[in-house]
Structure 1
């Protein structure tokens, strides 16, 4: 009898905790989920991508050799773009990440060089953090990266938007982003169709820009639904 009572209480708690989450997910799914749009590859898409790069001073970004930033005050980066290396710091861990050959990276735990059994796991975690967090900083500059497909899309409002699909590279190849630009070509937001999100087409803002020391344009904040993504302590050289 006691067992049945415990089982009943446990089931009630599970329903109480999960039902609101399921209802919220269902609401968000039916409100925001949409299929990935179709578009045309070719010169029109490339011109739209070039317009965005010019609006953000791509040349200044190319000439930026060093970028330092923090992601949500949780992960901290000292990125040597010129050498394709990055110091990644979180909690008590630091990885001197070699982006060309990650397995040559150095791992530190509590400031001590670490060569234990979790070394590879920590390198992979640092690489995953870097791929995700740096994307929120420099994604517009990656539209001509190797493995990208560019498509010009006409939105329901009759405006041109730029659909970028990453067919290779990074941590989640196959992800797609639809960039919405203002008249000058500056990104205002993008919609995402990505493997880590169960809802396709969620939109995040790209309208909190700062001009760093090298004149490259970088964002400081993104808003997605009620969530905020802060990028702080940005330094460029």
Structure 2
């Protein structure tokens, strides 16, 4: 009886694994796209400059502080001028010094934890990219290519060939008639399916003047960004003193 049960259990496990494999393969081949070909040069760079003009990149450069909550669970206060970040998730509150990692520490605990600090760093780079990616088109190590889509519209392919946490990742930016991003397709190391498309929506003009998106959708699921604020000095437009909030 026991042998029969084990045999049936084995058959069940093999069947489930087979179904998962078939489903995964079907999903992969139905969604996966090859990285498109494009052309580097002045036209690609000019296209990127038009995108940055649409998102008011000059104002973003002057922005000193950024605050936001990602997926309603990760909270950030980024002192962009000094390149330090306060990160909060779960019950942890972490101070990150992006220039001098030796200064990184957990504020909410007496003892440090490399695992928690590493998670805070990785979360910051991932979550901040969903806000400031259009302002990173000319980062060191980027390659820009102008791509012609099937409908003859133009798009910008940006590859991060070096630097950052995931060198080699590529993003194909689609824009509206005013060059404001509406979505990008991704070829990134953390996602095995190439060409998945995420929207860039709900653009908002911030206190600093920078234009930032507050909503994304990927495979039908929302990626909300709340509590989004950006400012450049301690005095707001109303003449009121602005104190960076404590997380």
TM-score w.r.t. the length of structure 2 is 0.88
State the partner residue of 1:37: 36
How far apart are the structure 2 equivalents of 1:179 and 1:129? 23
- The alpha-carbon deviation at position 23 of structure 1 amounts to 4.4
Structure 2 regions of 5+ residues with no counterpart? 232-247
Distance 1:76 1:135 in 2: 14
Report the number of matched residues: 231
SS, match of residue 113 in structure 1: coil
- CA deviation map 1:39-97 (0-9, x unaligned): 11111111010000001111111111101101101111001101001001111112100
Q: CA deviation at 1:20?
A: 5.3
* Corresponding position of 2:229: 235
Distance 1:41 1:89, change over 3 A: same
Distance 1:221 1:34, change over 3 A: same
Alpha-carbon spacing, 1:138–1:21, altered in 2? closer, same or farther (3 Å): farther
- In 1: Cα distance, 2:14 partner to 2:176 partner: 46
Structure 2 residue aligned with 1:173, among 162, 167, 192?
167
Aligned equivalent of 2:192, options 192, 198, 203: 198
1:144-192 C-alpha deviation (Å, 9 max, x unpaired): 1111111111111111110000112222111000001112110010000
Matched residue, 1:62: 61
| Structure 1: segments with no counterpart, 5+ residues | none
In structure 2, the residue corresponding to 1:76 is in which secondary structure?
strand
Match of 1:145 in 2: 139
Cα distance change on mapping 1:10 and 1:210 into 2, 3 Å: farther
Map 1:6-155 to 2 at 5 A: 6-9=6-9, 11-13=11-13, 15-16=15-16, 18=17, 21-108=20-107, 111-115=108-112, 119-155=113-149
Q: Displacement of 1:140 after TM fit?
A: 0.5
- Partner Cα separation in structure 2 for residue 4 and residue 227 of structure 1: 43
For the aligned residue pairs, the C-alpha RMSD in angstroms reads 1.7
2:150 to 140, 151, 156: 156
Give the stretch that moved more between structures: 192-201 or 212-221: 212-221
* Bigger mean CA offset, 183-192 vs 26-35: 26-35
Structure 1 residue matching 2:172: 3-state secondary structure: strand
TM-score, with length taken from structure 1:
0.91
Distance (whole Å) between structure 1 residues aligned to residue 189 and residue 218 of structure 2 = 17
